[in-house]
Amino acid sequence: LPYKQTPWGEQIVEYMLYMLWDMGLKVGHATRNIEDCLRLSRSDITIRTSILEARFLWGEQKLYEELLTRFDHEVVRTTGPEYVQAKLAERDERHAKAGESRYLVEPNVKDGKGGLRDLQTLFWIGKYFYRVRTGEELVEKGVFTQAEYREFQKAEDFLWAVRCHMHFLTGKAEERLHFDIQREIAERLGYTTHPGLSAVERFMKHYFLVAKDVGDLTRIFCAALEEEQAKHVP
């Protein structure tokens, strides 16, 4: 929001929100000025992550840049270890609910171990702790090699493709890759039967290999993080 809230601004926000609702979209929403964003982010990890993921779509570029700059200097700069600890605890709790193994026969693509949220958590922690805005900057910081970052991107693209097809196929926000949709998703993604392996078997094998890659990236990232934190221990 602008520095001073006005009835006109409120009407614009309401119009946009109601239009999205009328389209059937599920929208997480809030309207705040910069001071509200900074104040609330100090006590709420979810709000910190939302600001971390902020993207400029339209409007006053200067206002957007001021939010990110002040967020970095006034919140992120002194709370890196705290954020890392909170997000890793959140990840462990999520795994306990969705299943501790990467190799469940009906994996949770979003919240399961080796799933999309694990990749996002790595990216969020990396952006926050190293105070960068893009994945390429994590390569420049030495957190990932260029090859490891390409592996990250490939895993993310694959998991997003699977998740989108799940939603399109079921007509809802289905996050678990159930038996009864695995075959059709394999076909939609272009998998074919080879001698000794059906299309769906090849698809699920690929899924589990990607989940393993996510685990490998997590170990690499955590090792880099521990090394960086050790530098600051007196």
Q: Residue-wise over 84-95: b if at least 16 C-beta within 10 A, else e? A: bebbeeebeebb
- Cα separation, 122 vs 49, whole angstroms: 12
Q: What is the mean pLDDT of each run of 10 residues along the chain (234 residues)?
A: 71 90 86 92 95 91 95 95 92 85 89 93 92 89 90 96 96 92 96 94 96 92 78 60
How would you label 126-153 residue by residue, b for 16+ Cβ within 10 Å and e otherwise? bbbbbebeebeebbeeebbeeebbebbe
List of domains in the chain: 7-77 (no CATH), 80-231 (1.20.120.330)
The Cα–Cα gap between 155 and 63 comes to 34
Q: Which burial class, exposed, middle or buried, applies to 107 when counting CB atoms under 10 A from its CB (0-12, 13-18, 19+)?
A: buried
Distance of CA 42 to the CA centre of its chain: 20
Q: What is the pLDDT of residue 100?
A: 74
Report the phi/psi class of residue 84: left, alpha or beta, with left for phi > 0 and alpha for psi in -120 to 50: alpha
pLDDT value, residue 10: 82
Q: Which residues, in sequence order, are CB contacts of 178 under 8 Å at separation 6+?
A: 106
Q: Output the pLDDT for position 8.
A: 81
Q: How many alpha carbons fall within 13 Å on the CB side of residue 20?
A: 10
Report the distance separating Cα 224 and Cα 23, nearest Å: 44
pTM to 2 decimals? 0.86
pLDDT of residue 224: 81
Cα–Cα distance for residue pair 38/35, rounded to 1 Å: 5
Helix then strand count (H, E) for the chain reads 10, 0
Phi-psi region of 190 (alpha: psi -120 to 50; beta: other; left: phi over 0): left
Asked if residues 154 and 146 have their Cβ atoms less than 8 Å apart, the reply is no
Q: How far apart are CA 119 and CA 156, in angstroms?
A: 7
Structure tokens at 145: 């090699």
